[in-house]
Amino acid sequence: MNKTLILSLLASATALTAQTTTIFPDEYVAVNEGPFNSPNLPLALGTSRVQVVYEAIDLAIPSGRQITQIGFRQDRTLTTMDTGRTLQLEIRMAYTAHTAASLTSNFANNLAVAPVTVFGPTTFTLPNLREAANPLTNNRFFIPLTTPFVYQPANGNLVVEYLIYGNSGGGSSFNYRLDRGDYYSPVTYGPAGCPHSGNGTPNLTANGTRPGLTYSTTCSSSPANSFGVLLVVPGQPLQTPFSLQSFVPAINPNCRGQVLVANAAQLTGTTNGSGNATWSFTIPNNPAYADFLWSSQAVFYDFFAQGSVVVSNGAQVQTGAAPRTSILSATGAPLTPVTGTVTRNYNPITFFVHQ
């Protein structure tokens, strides 16, 4: 009997530990709060049909795992409480050959296979968001699926449909502001550069970006009114600092390279009277530049420095991507609309629990 009890406990523990929560997009493992909020989608549009496509490239669920819950998190930049309502809700899952960029305005045409009902139709009461007296655990809430969905990314991108037949507010839309993400573009810096003759050390900073936006860097504490060059190496990470004396024999040994000089493009400029300089260029609006590395380091002419040259620290930017999810939505009885409105690259942060 004791053996049976122990085996039962072990089996239960194994089942519990097998539960894994995956965030979409997967880059948001490193982001605690997105820059925007979603006031209505996908659950607060009122009586409606909402279809969301999640591209498999950003959905880190292993093939064959069973999705058992879907979750969202509240927007924490706000302080006002949003009151949850009770929904008459059905959730369906399916696959699509469409992407966030190609999702059409026709609900049926987006589906590669017939959808499977994984929840309801039944009532589900949304919790209040940002309620001080009853805070959400980890700022999240989950909808447990009554029928687990076996995820097979080889079948296409995941589609989740929310059919809302009514709510406790008379079927009207309401504010229910969930956390919403955008592109994630981490910036990494190398060790400090070397001081110029005025004792300042050039400090290079860079901004996160994505395809179609600007790659922008600024260098401060540089020699004033001096000629400078930004070395930009596409597709390469920062390097372990190395000696520059093979390029400038008399240079201060503390001035070390952090980018591959031979592979670098050169952007020229001049610092202002405060020793600041800015360089920028537009990244092509091409998906090939998503998750792409750019490494930069600034070099300045300083007649009174050793070798007349000083350098900044290096900066590495990983180009982000527009959220690879889009939403098709329509108000009214959820089984009636044939078409709706597509909201592109719109990303209420979503959690998938699977086992």
Tens of pLDDT along 100-120? 999 999 999 999 999 999 999
Q: What is the pLDDT of residue 13?
A: 45
Q: What is the pLDDT of residue 108?
A: 97
Cα 146–Cα 89–Cα 99 angle in degrees, nearest 5: 85
Element (DSSP H or E) covering residue 114: none
At 79, the pLDDT band (50, 70, 90 cuts) reads very high
Q: What is the pLDDT of residue 10?
A: 42
pLDDT greater than 50 at residue 174:
yes
| Topology at the third CATH level for domain 19-182+323-347 | Jelly Rolls (2.60.120)
Q: Can you spell out the DSSP letters for 298-321? A: EEEE-TTSGGGEEEEEEEEEE---
Q: Domain segments of the chain: what residues?
A: 19-182+323-347, 187-318
Q: What is the pLDDT of residue 89?
A: 98
With CA atoms as reference, report the closest residue to 352 among 64, 61, 31, 157: 61
Q: How much of the chain, in percent, has pLDDT values that exceed 70?
A: 95
Q: What is the pLDDT of residue 29?
A: 94
At 18, the pLDDT band (50, 70, 90 cuts) reads confident
Q: Residue 266 has which token pair?
A: 């050169």
pLDDT greater than 90 at residue 12:
no
With CA atoms as reference, report the closest residue to 162 among 112, 109, 107, 81: 107
Amino acid in position 145: L
* Mean pLDDT, range 232-249, rounded to an integer: 96
* Mean pLDDT, range 247-264, rounded to an integer: 95
* Mean pLDDT, range 91-105, rounded to an integer: 98
- Domains 19-182+323-347 and 187-318 agree in fold: no
Tens of pLDDT along 198-240? 999 999 999 999 999 999 999 999 999 999 999 999 999 999 9
pLDDT greater than 50 at residue 16:
no
Q: What is the pLDDT of residue 2?
A: 54
Q: What is the pLDDT of residue 221?
A: 98
* Gap between the Cα atoms of 53 and 48, Å rounded: 17
* Gap between the Cα atoms of 313 and 267, Å rounded: 16
Tens of pLDDT along 283-326? 999 989 999 999 999 999 999 999 999 999 999 999 999 999 99
pLDDT greater than 70 at residue 15:
no
pTM of the model: 0.86
| Topology at the third CATH level for domain 187-318 | S-adenosyl-L-methionine-dependent methyltransferases (2.20.130)
* Mean pLDDT, range 178-192, rounded to an integer: 97
How far apart, in Å, are the Cα atoms of 131 and each of 74, 137, 163? 10, 11, 26
* Mean pLDDT, range 261-284, rounded to an integer: 97
**178-214: string of b/e by CB count within 10 Å (b at 16+)?**
bbbbbbbbeeebbeebbbbeeeebbbbebebbbbebe
* Mean pLDDT, range 7-15, rounded to an integer: 45
At 329, the pLDDT band (50, 70, 90 cuts) reads very high
At 345, the pLDDT band (50, 70, 90 cuts) reads very high
